Structures are given as structure tokens and as C-alpha cells.
Amino acid sequence: MTDRHLTDAQIASALRAHLPQTAPAGTRRALLGAVAVTEQQRPMLPVVGWLSNAGQDRRGGLALLLVVGLVALLAGLAAAGAWQAIQPRRVLAPQGGAGGWIAYDTPRRGFLSQIHLVRMGQPERAFITDPVNGATCPAFSPDGSLLAYAIGDEIVVSRFASDGSLGAEVARYPLKFTPHRCPVWSPLGDALAVFASTNRIEILRPGGSGTSLAIGDATMLDAPGIQLVWSPRADRIAAATDRGILIVPLDGGASTLLPDSTV
């Protein structure tokens, strides 16, 4: 086989187009602050002022020795604590899908979230990314063939193959979406429920008309961290709120609040 010969200019031009020229703005801010944030959490060393006087009398040698030992001890403790101050990625919303895949997202302050796809016992992994908004809240359909996730203020549903590849989009729903209030599949896999920031539960039907049904009670669904659970027959949704469990029928009937009797 004859190798193709490239000029310096060709290589430079192609690599400049291929490699990122700048770090993403959010990443730049997070990286520039990372050292300062971490170092601010290290304990101060109050013994530094002694050092200037330590050699002035005969006890200076002993004092200096004590100071050095104390500084070394504090520095060791500080270093151990400072490593913990770097904010690690957190694994959120792990979900199982076709072919033994597990999807999760990793929100982290200052960094774009991305969805990770991993398989036990397999070296391969994949990311789902969006360079502007990040990707969060993966949710596999019950048969594992569809993957729903959030991109910015949209819920996207895409096909998912057992080899871990993401296929075409099936549906895309613009919402006033609050990050990490993730879509939840119905037991039959024909609908998604998501708590929207407009104090409503949106029912999204990827296989249907693509319209959404707004239900719920604005006075009830105002709690952060609300969780949605479908009933086995997919005719009701239970919403865990800070006032109790709100049972919301999908036929438009009145919602029922089951108060938290422990409060």
C-alpha cells in the first residue's frame, strides 16, 4: 500500500479544524475557579508568625522543631481535606436498557452534564452530549428500545439499539423543563410523565400525536425534588410532594391528596 503524503500546511489546517480551539465557556469559568475554591477550604496555618522569632534565643531551635512538625501535620491534614473539596461527578438517575446497558448522568456545577452509557463487564462506554445545554435524565422505555432524555428545556426520545448506538429521534418536546426532574415511562412504554416547571405534569406520547396533556394542581405540585410514579395500569400517576402523595388520574378527574400522616 502506498501511503498518502501530507504537507505541514495540510496537517495543521485539518487539525485546527478538528481540535477544539477554545474550552467551552462554562468549563473555563469552572476550571479557573477550581484551584481557588479548593484552596480556600484548606485550614489556615496559624503558626507561621512564630518563625521570624524562632532563632533569637536558645529555645528557638526547639520551637522551630515543634513548629515544623505542627506545620507538617496540618499540611498533611489539609491536603487530605482539599482533595475532597474538588467536586466529583455524581451519578444520577441510573437506568437499565437493552443489551445490559446502563445510562446515567453526571451533573456538576460549572460543567455540562452528559449522559453516560456503560455495560457491566464490557470496556466500551459512550456519551450522549450536547455542546450547549448538556444532556440529562436518561430514561429507557420498558422494552429498552427507546431512550428519553432532557436537552436544555426539551425532552427528546430516540431509538436505542442493543449495541449501544443511538438511533433517530422519535419525538422532541419543548418544555419549561427543570433539570433533574426526569421523564418517567409508563408501564406499557407508550407515554412519558414529566413534572414541568409550570406546576403541571406533562404526559407525552411518543407513538401518538405528540401532544401533551396538562394535569395537576398548581398549589400541590410546587415542591422541589418531586417524584412521579405510574400506576400499574397507567391510569393514574402518584406525585410525591412535600405535603403528601398526590394521586392524579389521567382521565381528567379530580386529584386526591394522601397527606403525610407523620408530619
Partner 1 sequence: MSNRPQSVEAMAAKPVEVPAEEALVRRARLGDIAAFDLIVLGRLDRCYRLAWSILLNDADAADAIQDALLSAWRQLPRLRDPSAFDGWLNRIVANSARMARRGRGRVREIPVGSLGLDDDETVTEVRRDQPSTGGSPDRLADRDSIGRAFDRLRADERAILALHYVDERPVAEIARSLGIPTGTAKWRLYAARRALERALEAEA
Q: Contact residues for partner 1 (CB under 8 A)?
A: 1-6, 8, 10-24, 27-32, 34-36, 38-40, 79, 86, 89, 106, 111-112, 114, 122-131, 135, 151, 156, 158-159, 161, 164-170, 172
For partner 1, the closer CB: 20 or 232: 20
Question: Minimal distance in Å, beta carbon 177 to partner 1?
Answer: 15
For partner 1, the closer CB: 90 or 125: 125
- Sequence-separated contacts (24+) of 3-7 with Cβ below 8 Å: none
**Rounded-to-integer distance, Cα 27 and Cα 158, Å:** 27
Question: Minimal distance in Å, beta carbon 211 to partner 1?
Answer: 17
For partner 1, the closer CB: 86 or 188: 86
**Rounded-to-integer distance, Cα 72 and Cα 50, Å:** 15
For partner 1, the closer CB: 27 or 198: 27
- β-pairing verdict for 115-119 and 101-105: antiparallel
Q: Which residues fall within 8 angstroms of residue 208, CB to CB, at 6 or more apart?
A: 190
Question: Minimal distance in Å, beta carbon 141 to partner 1?
Answer: 17
Q: Which residues fall within 8 angstroms of residue 167, CB to CB, at 6 or more apart?
A: 158, 159, 160, 161
Question: Minimal distance in Å, beta carbon 164 to partner 1?
Answer: 8
Cβ atoms of 236 and 186 closer than 8 Å: no
Question: Minimal distance in Å, beta carbon 227 to partner 1?
Answer: 26
For partner 1, the closer CB: 11 or 214: 11
**Rounded-to-integer distance, Cα 174 and Cα 154, Å:** 4
